[in-house]
Amino acid sequence: MQDSNFIKYKIWVDEAGRWPWLWSVVACALAFNPGNMPDKELLSQINDSKKLTEKKREMLFEKLIEYSTWENPSLFFWVWVVDNYVIDEINIKQANREAMRRALLELSRKIDFSNLNWVFIDGNDNYKFDILEKPPIFIIEWDSKVVEIWAASIIAKVFRDKLTSQYALLYPDLWLENHKGYGTKKHSEYLSDKSKVTWIHRLSYKPVKKVLESKPKLLLHICCWPDATVPIMDLKNNYEIICFWYDPNIQPKKEYDKRLKEFIKVCEIEKVEYIVWEYDFKNFFERIKWFENTPEKWEKCTHCYDMRLERSALEARKLGIKYWTSTLNTSPHKDLEKMFSLWDKWSINPSPLTHLPESEGNKLSKKLDFLKIAFRKNGGFKRSVEYTTKHKIYRQNYCGCIYSDTFPWKKNNKKSWFSW
């Protein structure tokens, strides 16, 4: 055995887990013993960890551990783990540096750093460490050329994989045993919404952060534009709103077009997506047939509400949107309790909607979640007036129905206003 005074160690450092979306980063600092090098048979089997099968990596990992436990070890190493909480706090580059620093510090308890020749690190991060007299040497892509780096990478990777695999038992749907936290298609599919983000995910990583910051979609049925201003302003902070224009009860067609124009105008002001459905006024007249002369808020209005909510519920289901609501409850002229009962019906009951194409009706399935919010409360109506005044939005003076008490031409022959 060589005199220890003449032994000069070279330390090689590599990490595993820099790019996964979850859990820790692990660094390994390793030095072969110049006075008792590993045998050539072992060295000939060591290769870049990325080029080895999982079974081969684990076999070499066991061998390297064994060689480090001899009375006169062939190699010295230490690993250090920095978890996802620290990664989120100081970023992955600094967390990687800390893992390497602590691995080097612990290795200094095994070998005399006064006999240290150089420390080599693959990459170009240019970290500095106070525990080293000389700065480490950073060389790009050494992990594909140097056996010592390969050995360090095998230990770091297998060590991290073994730790990560423990969490596969807690999250079987995450398939950790297959992707180890890397951004695979399976991992992306798992992160379908924020409820799927686990406590081991790195919340600062873009794919995870995007899921956490995403808003659930909500279909907002618009009955008239002034009534929609407050709901959009109140809901857009928590939902990705899609406005749904469906109001075939509005007469005459000129009035309908005027209101539709204002609808589009404010959608563009508020930068929300919108859908304009067809003007199927014949459906409206069919739905209220025999109830034309009933009082306001009675059967006539109930069938009108029902028609529009039915169509909105169908659209939500077609688009796969769970949450929906309507601006019908903004106006003080609407019967709120009656509309809540209708909303419950269309949220729960996947009706075949016999008056609609069968192919559409068959798409109804899962229960919808209707937001029962009385937008008229807390000064909602007043706020809508202020908004429309500020943006010069047209405010109508009747609901749109030719049978309403406030229809401007009520005394005239109403049939002349039909959009046949």
Show the 3-state SS of 324-382: EEEHHHCCCCCCHHHHHHHHHHHHHCCCCCCCCCHHHHCCCCCCCEECCCCCCCCCHHH
Q: d(Cα 27, Cα 17) in Å, to the nearest integer?
A: 9
* 123 pLDDT higher than 50: yes
Can you tell me the mean pLDDT for 365-390? 80
Any domain includes 192: no
**Mean of the per-residue pLDDT values of the chain:** 87
Whole-number pLDDT of residue 416: 45
CB atoms within 10 A of CB 348: 12
Q: How many CA atoms lie within 13 A of 5 on its CB side?
A: 0
Of 302, 303, 301, 314, which is closest to residue 244 (Cα–Cα)?
314
pLDDT in the model for residue 87: 98
Task: Indicate the pLDDT class of residue 2, thresholds 50, 70 and 90.
Answer: very low
CB atoms within 10 A of CB 36: 16
Whether residue 197 is contained in a domain is answered as: no
Length of the chain: 420
Per-residue pLDDT tens over the stretch 7-24: 789 999 999 999 999 999
pLDDT tens figures, 302-331: 899 889 989 999 999 899 898 999 888 766
Distance CA 159, CA 87 (A): 18
Cα first-last separation, the chain: 105
379 shares its domain with 242: yes
Q: Among 131, 166, 201, which residue terminates a domain? A: 166
Place of tokens 């509400």: 305
Checking if the pLDDT of 151 tops 70, the result is yes
Is 389 domain-assigned? yes
Per mean pLDDT, which of 196-205, 297-306, 313-322, 331-340 is the most reliable?
Answer: 196-205
Domain region containing 93: 4-166
> Which of 133, 166, 199 represents a domain boundary (last residue)?
166
What's the longest Cα–Cα distance across the chain? 115
Q: What percent of the chain has pLDDT over 90?
A: 61
Tell if the pTM clears 0.85, that is, is over it: no
Predicted local confidence at residue 347, as pLDDT = 74
Residues 141 and 241 in one domain: no
Same domain, 10 and 88: yes
Cα–Cα distance for residue pair 120/14, rounded to 1 Å: 9
Domain of 277: which CATH number?
3.40.50.620
Query: Is the model's pLDDT at 57 over the cut of 60?
Result: yes
Mean pLDDT, residues 46-55 taken together: 91
Contact 166, 177 (CB under 8 A): no
3-state secondary structure of 315: helix
Q: Which of 9, 164, 133 is nearest to 77 (CA)?
A: 9
How many CB atoms are located within 10 Å of the residue 89 CB? 10
31, part of any domain: yes
Residues 330 and 246 in one domain: yes
Q: Provide CB contacts within 8 A for 272, sequence distance 6+.
A: 232, 236, 241, 242, 243
pLDDT at 144 over 70: no
89 vs 330 pLDDT, higher one: 89
Residue 184 within any structural domain of the chain: no
Q: Are residues 155 and 252 in the same domain?
A: no
Same domain, 119 and 240: no
Q: Are residues 380 and 321 in the same domain?
A: yes
Last residue of one domain, picked from the residues 100, 134, 166: 166
The verdict on 264 and 350 lying in the same domain is yes
The structural domain count of the chain equals: 2
b/e map 199-230, b = 16+ CB within 10 Å: ebbbbebeebeebeeeeebbbbbbbbbbbbbb
pLDDT band at residue 6, thresholds of 50, 70 and 90?
Answer: low
Per residue in 155-174, pLDDT (tens digit) is 999 999 999 999 999 999 99
